[in-house]
Amino acid sequence: MPFSYRNVEEKAAGARGLVDIIDFDIGGLDMPEMRQLTVKEIVLGESLLTPGLQTTVTLQSLIYLPSGKNFDKFKNKPISFTLERDGGGVLPVNQQVYRLDNRDFQPVNTGQTEEFSIHACDQTQIEDAKKLVSKSWSCERPSSVVEYVLKNCAGAKTIDVESADPARDYIAENIHPFQVVGQQCNVGLADGSDPSFVHFMTYENGGTHCFKSLKQMTQQSPVATFKHSETGKSNDRLSGYANPEAIVAFMFPCDFDYLSDLLNGVDENGKDMNTLAIFNPVTKSMSQLGNQMSGCGMGGFNFKQSVSNNQSNKQQQACNLDVEHHLLKRQARMALLERDKIALRMTVPWNANLHASKVIKFEWTNKYGGLVYGSGTYLISSISHAIRLGGFSTTTMDCVSTTVGGGEV
């Protein structure tokens, strides 16, 4: 039977910005597993670099009463609940339980209570683990392959797929569905020239699979503006936790890293400096693309090699592999999302409208006029929602500068 955590004084709770957990349910179970059970914490995670969702729920349960509890019943059962906060939106969650761990007595068994965590994921992640794809496509665009695989192989109900070029021949050689999508990320081009596609999931609409380019994501308008405000002011609601625009904490892990940029083929001006040598075995031709500087050997910065069928694809009755367009830039673009490139890490009052791939605006006003360095627009690369006992809940975002859409840190 689903149960809810609602504050007795709902208006007061709403004014304090607390989060309600509504209709919490695991597989429709009731007696005895769901009795004397308390939700201590819920953590929800999204990331541009992960093609799935991660939900962790920490529970506390009375050990002896009611008797006969068997938590093996939670295995592969659906877990569902809704999170709600005044001014912070509503977020329904529907996942599948796949793991129970960290079961321990609290505290040292004197309280006759045990604590454990259950982990849940989207059903498509389970389908991805179950299935392999062995199929060929002739002259199909990467976005078409992605749509087919996500819907027909992974069973995704909601997808958000950006159009990607060029059409090419492709064979999935008995690999998992998400691996197929990952390979399309490597070759897909946005607007015919931008190789920055990523496959990820958000909690939107019950779980949405996204296949999008950094270029498109960074061109969005900000979904929210967050402002630095000094805390501790008495009777100032605008600087408190109840203010959805207030920042609880923030830091700037990395403003720039020139050495890392060089290792990924980007110079001090953000210009791509990779070198690509291609060989066509049919025409017996070789060519070098990209950076033509001479270094210690062939080219400068990163050097790559690949087989091409440019100008010979018709003889081979095949589509163009098009390595000339995507292979040079891909490494540098993806390097901009690495964890050590996080430009802004920020914790704010819980907000259901924030997701990986959304753009937010950060404002830090200088007391003496203007804005402090660091103010601007950022792309959320990963996000974690933490909902705690009592309703105090936060959202933590790792963000990168929107300049990554143009290939710069």
123, 148 contact by CB (below 8 A): no
Least confident stretch, 49-53, 233-237, 290-294, 394-398: 233-237
Q: Tell the burial category of 296 from Cβ atoms under 10 Å away from its Cβ (0-12, 13-18, 19+).
A: exposed
Integer Cα distance of 384 and 345 in angstroms: 11
Q: What digits encode the pLDDT tens for the residues 166-213?
A: 898 899 999 999 999 999 999 899 988 788 899 999 999 999 999 999
pLDDT at 375: 94
The overall average pLDDT reported for the chain is 85
Of 143, 147, 150, give the one whose Cα is nearest residue 128.
Answer: 150
State the Cα–Cα distance between residues 146 and 199, nearest whole angstrom: 10
Separation CA 177–CA 319 (nearest Å):
22
Q: Which residue has the tokens 């950006």?
A: 162
Q: Is 348 helix (H, G, I), strand (E, B) or coil?
A: strand
Q: Running DSSP on this structure, what letter comes out for residue 246?
A: B
pLDDT, tens only, 277-328: 777 777 767 777 766 666 665 555 666 776 777 766 666 656 766 676 666 6
* Rounded distance between C-alpha atoms, residue 161 and residue 96, angstroms: 24
218-266 pLDDT, tens digit each: 999 999 999 887 654 444 555 567 788 889 899 999 988 888 777 777 7
Is omega for the bond preceding 195 within 30 degrees of 0, making it cis?
Answer: no
CA–CA gap between residue 362 and residue 397 (Å, rounded): 12
Predicted TM-score (pTM) of this structure: 0.86
- Secondary structure class of 371 (helix, strand, coil): strand
Residue 160 in 3-state DSSP? Answer: strand
For the residues 82-110, what does the mean pLDDT come to?
87
How many helices and strands, by DSSP H and E, does the chain display? Answer: 7, 21
- Which residue bears the tokens 């809940």? 393
Check if the beta carbon of residue 346 is closer than 8 Å to that of residue 389: no
Helix (H) / strand (E) containing 384: strand 376-388
Lowest mean pLDDT among 26-40, 222-236, 284-298, 348-362: 284-298
Torsion of CA 26, 31, 37, 42, to 10 degrees: 0
Nearest of 199, 197, 181 to residue 189 by alpha carbon: 197
Which ranges of 219-356 would DSSP assign to H, the alpha helix?
Answer: 258-263, 323-335
